[in-house]
Amino acid sequence: MKRKLLMALLFSLLIGLLAACGGSDDADDGEASGDDAATDDGDKEVYTVATDNGYVPFEYIDEDSGDLVGFDIDLITALAEEADIEIEFETLEFDGIVAGIGSGRFDIAIAGMTITEEREESIDFTQPYYEAGLILAVQDGNDEIESIDDVDGKVIATRTGSTSQEYLTENTDAEIEAFPAIIEAYQNVLAGRSDAVLYDLPNVQYYSEKDADGELVTVGEKLTGEDYGIAFTKGSELRDVIDDALTTLKENGTYDDIYEEWFGERPEGT
Ligand code: ARG
């Protein structure tokens, strides 16, 4: 009797122990294998990438597929792969991206963002990944504005919170009209409501060729050098990880391939 009782006790203790171990193992396995199936790596953090959805050809919604596409999108996707991190995109307006990355709302921001001293006070940037510049554009046939020297007293459209807006404020006496979406600035010029638009050269060029049927023409020289950088909250450890990956992609030709796909030719000096 006593022996049986002891055996039963021991047995149930054993079962209990097994169940406890098995239970916790199961839970872990369950989680890991669930994630494994989806992402191939159970405990990888997913980093948020803030970007725009209306900045051709860097990030915009493809009309046919409805997908977020562009040079920046392909570049950060390749960088995340190289750095072996998971990312997900969040789209919002450009000024919100600049403010949000400064305050740590997102992990990464890529949005054709120019590296400026002012932004560097609250943002850490990678090395430059694209060299842009500002350009003035008018409606085809407007010969009143031939360069930035002709904009004083004229209505010049641009995007809110952009380096173009800052340039106009600091260097001209133009009447600045800043819009939350650059497309409105272009449309205003094409409708004759604004005299010209000042914005980043690659965006103006792309819009003018693909969307404006040559009705919007650039005038004058490219103003300023604008180096785009990928942005991080100050002190972010991810900055170096992505910067190293960028160096690798520039060296191994991946960067050039992506560049060529969106801009047709390889960047100068490569
Ligand atoms: N390069 C300019 C800037 O940094 C304009 C960038 C606009 N980017 C955008 N995704 N809308 O101010």
Which amino acids bring their CB within 6 angstroms of ligand 1?
Answer: 52, 55, 94, 111-114, 162-163, 200, 226
Specify which residues 50 forms β-bridges with. Answer: 90, 109
Closest among 111, 124, 103 to 159, alpha carbons compared:
111
Atom from ligand 1 closest to the CA of residue 165: 12
For the segment 91-125, what is each residue's pLDDT rounded down to a tens digit?
A: 999 999 999 999 999 999 999 999 999 999 999 99
For the segment 125-165, what is each residue's pLDDT rounded down to a tens digit?
A: 999 999 999 999 999 999 999 999 999 999 999 999 999 99
- To the nearest whole percent, how much of the chain has pLDDT over 70? 83
Please give the pLDDT value at position 14: 46
Please give the pLDDT value at position 96: 96
For ligand 1, atom 10, which residue shows the shortest CA distance?
Answer: 111
Q: Tell whether the model's pLDDT for residue 62 goes beyond 80.
A: yes
Contact 182, 173 (CB under 8 A): no
CA 253-258-259 angle, 5° bins? 95
DSSP state of 45: P
Range from 146-150, 221-225, 232-236 carrying the lowest mean pLDDT: 221-225
Range list of H helices, 90-200: 94-102, 117-120, 163-171, 182-190
Measured in residues, the chain has a length of 270
Atom from ligand 1 closest to the CA of residue 116: 4
Compute CA distances 204 → 62, 72, 148, 244, whole Å.
18, 17, 15, 31
For the segment 159-217, what is each residue's pLDDT rounded down to a tens digit?
A: 999 999 999 999 999 999 999 999 999 999 999 999 999 999 999 999 999 999 989 99
Please give the pLDDT value at position 38: 42
> Predicted confidence band at 24 (pLDDT cuts at 50, 70, 90)?
very low
Question: What spacing in Å lies between the alpha carbon of 53 and ligand 1's midpoint?
Answer: 12
Amino acid at site 124:
D
Which phi-psi region, left, alpha or beta, contains residue 161 (left: φ > 0; alpha: ψ -120 to 50)? left
Q: Tell whether the model's pLDDT for residue 34 goes beyond 70.
A: no
Overall average pLDDT of the 62-91 stretch: 98
213 burial via Cβ count (<10 Å: 0-12, 13-18, 19+)? exposed
For the record, the structure tokens of 162 come out as 């952009």
Q: Tell whether the model's pLDDT for residue 75 goes beyond 90.
A: yes
Average of per-residue pLDDT values in the chain: 88
Q: Tell whether the model's pLDDT for residue 36 goes beyond 80.
A: no
For ligand 1, atom 7, which residue shows the shortest CA distance?
Answer: 112
Question: What spacing in Å lies between the alpha carbon of 180 and ligand 1's midpoint?
Answer: 11
Q: Tell whether the model's pLDDT for residue 43 goes beyond 80.
A: no
Q: Tell whether the model's pLDDT for residue 76 goes beyond 70.
A: yes
Best probe residue, ligand 1, of 72, 134, 159 (max atoms within 8 Å of C-beta): 159
Question: What spacing in Å lies between the alpha carbon of 138 and ligand 1's midpoint?
Answer: 20
Question: What spacing in Å lies between the alpha carbon of 158 and ligand 1's midpoint?
Answer: 11
Atom from ligand 1 closest to the CA of residue 162: 12
Range from 10-24, 72-86, 99-113, 211-225 carrying the lowest mean pLDDT: 10-24
Strand pairing class (216-228; 130-139): antiparallel
Residue 127 half-sphere exposure toward CB, CA atoms < 13 A: 11
Please give the pLDDT value at position 103: 97
DSSP state of 104: T
Please give the pLDDT value at position 266: 73
Given the structure tokens 């409105």, which residue do they identify?
184
Count of beta carbons in the 10 Å neighbourhood of residue 113:
28
φ/ψ (deg, to 5) at 248? -60, -45
> Cα(24)–Cα(112) distance, rounded to whole angstroms?
47
Question: What spacing in Å lies between the alpha carbon of 35 and ligand 1's midpoint?
Answer: 36
Please give the pLDDT value at position 269: 55
> Cα(86)–Cα(91) distance, rounded to whole angstroms?
17
Atom from ligand 1 closest to the CA of residue 226: 1
Closest among 122, 116, 139, 247 to 185, alpha carbons compared:
139
Question: What spacing in Å lies between the alpha carbon of 217 and ligand 1's midpoint?
Answer: 20
- Which residue ranges form the domains of the chain, and what is each CATH number? 46-129+229-263 (3.40.190.10), 132-226 (3.40.190.10)
Contact 241, 255 (CB under 8 A): no
Atom from ligand 1 closest to the CA of residue 161: 12
Q: Tell whether the model's pLDDT for residue 40 goes beyond 90.
A: no
Q: Tell whether the model's pLDDT for residue 261 goes beyond 60.
A: yes
